[in-house]
């Protein structure tokens, strides 16, 4: 299998939910303290460690792209995720978050890195599900460190406020004349969610309201409803 980002031999798998996020929610995972994975195809699958293949996307990328190329993207997301969870309460609809508190002096560049972390995840989902969406702009965005113009992020209230949980939704797509013009999925942690959206030019979907896009220069984001 080839890396969909650079074309080299692919030998690593990206976690569906970032390993650091899983650890922050559930703590140390081991055979004595396992996780239980459930989705539409399987229920309560025992997971004995955070390196388990069951936690990773089936699409493969090379070690260089997964580590050196995208390490700054991973780190930026870890910082923002850690900040959201450090508040010890769920994000609330219409709440405003000052990004300068998370990324002092580097808001614009750091938010592009957060964006690129989810570009990498969405690209892996597209490959895994063989979705007819052009991967070229995804690859170029990651290789050059520039935002994908058709990918939006909305930081949202959590899906579940009663239980310690982490997860992701299936990808919802909108087609026109047999072609995908929009796609979205939810990345969920116990204190907040992220709605990741792909939308072709001219699409004005409800989900794009309150979304972060590369065109934004604001240092504050407003929390959207899931």
**Is 204 a residue whose pLDDT tops 70?**
no
**Is 189 a residue whose pLDDT tops 80?**
yes
Task: Judge whether 58 lies within some domain.
Answer: no
Give residue 193's pLDDT: 95
- Tell me how crowded residue 185 is: count the other CB atoms within 10 A of its CB: 20
Task: Judge whether 59 lies within some domain.
Answer: no
| Rounded Cα distance, 70 and 78, in Å | 12
Task: Judge whether 44 lies within some domain.
Answer: no
Determine contact, residues 208/198, Cβ cutoff 8 Å: no
How many separate domains does the chain show? 1
Q: Pick the closest to residue 149 from 180, 178, 115, 174 (CA basis).
A: 115
Task: Judge whether 146 lies within some domain.
Answer: yes
pLDDT, tens only, 85-99: 998 888 999 999 999
**Is 82 a residue whose pLDDT tops 70?**
yes
Least confident range from 40-49, 85-94, 144-153, 189-198: namely 40-49
Phi then psi for 38, rounded to 5 degrees?
Answer: -130, 140
The whole-model pTM stands at 0.94
Determine contact, residues 158/139, Cβ cutoff 8 Å: no
**Domain limits at 175?**
66-222
């Amino acid at each position: 299998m080839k890396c969909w980002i650079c074309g080299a031999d692919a030998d690593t798998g990206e976690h569906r939910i970032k390993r650091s996020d899983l650890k922050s929610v559930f703590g140390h995972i081991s055979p004595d303290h396992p996780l239980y994975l459930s989705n539409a195809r399987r229920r309560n699958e025992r997971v004995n460690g955070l390196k388990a293949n069951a936690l990773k996307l089936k699409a493969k990328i090379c070690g260089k792209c997964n580590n050196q190329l995208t390490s700054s993207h991973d780190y930026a997301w870890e910082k923002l995720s850690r900040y959201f969870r450090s508040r010890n309460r769920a994000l609330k609809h219409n709440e405003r978050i000052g990004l300068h508190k998370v990324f002092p002096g580097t808001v614009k560049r750091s938010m592009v890195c957060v964006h690129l972390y989810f570009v990498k995840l969405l690209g892996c989902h597209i490959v895994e599900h063989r979705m007819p969406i052009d991967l070229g702009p995804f690859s170029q965005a990651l290789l050059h460190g520039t935002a994908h113009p058709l990918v939006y992020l909305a930081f949202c209230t959590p899906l579940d406020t009663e239980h310690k949980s982490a997860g992701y939704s299936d990808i919802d797509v909108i087609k026109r004349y047999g072609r995908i013009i929009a796609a979205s999925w939810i990345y969920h942690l116990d204190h907040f969610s992220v709605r990741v959206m792909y939308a072709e030019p001219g699409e004005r979907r409800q989900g794009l309201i309150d979304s972060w896009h590369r065109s934004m220069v604001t240092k504050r984001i407003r929390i959207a409803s899931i």
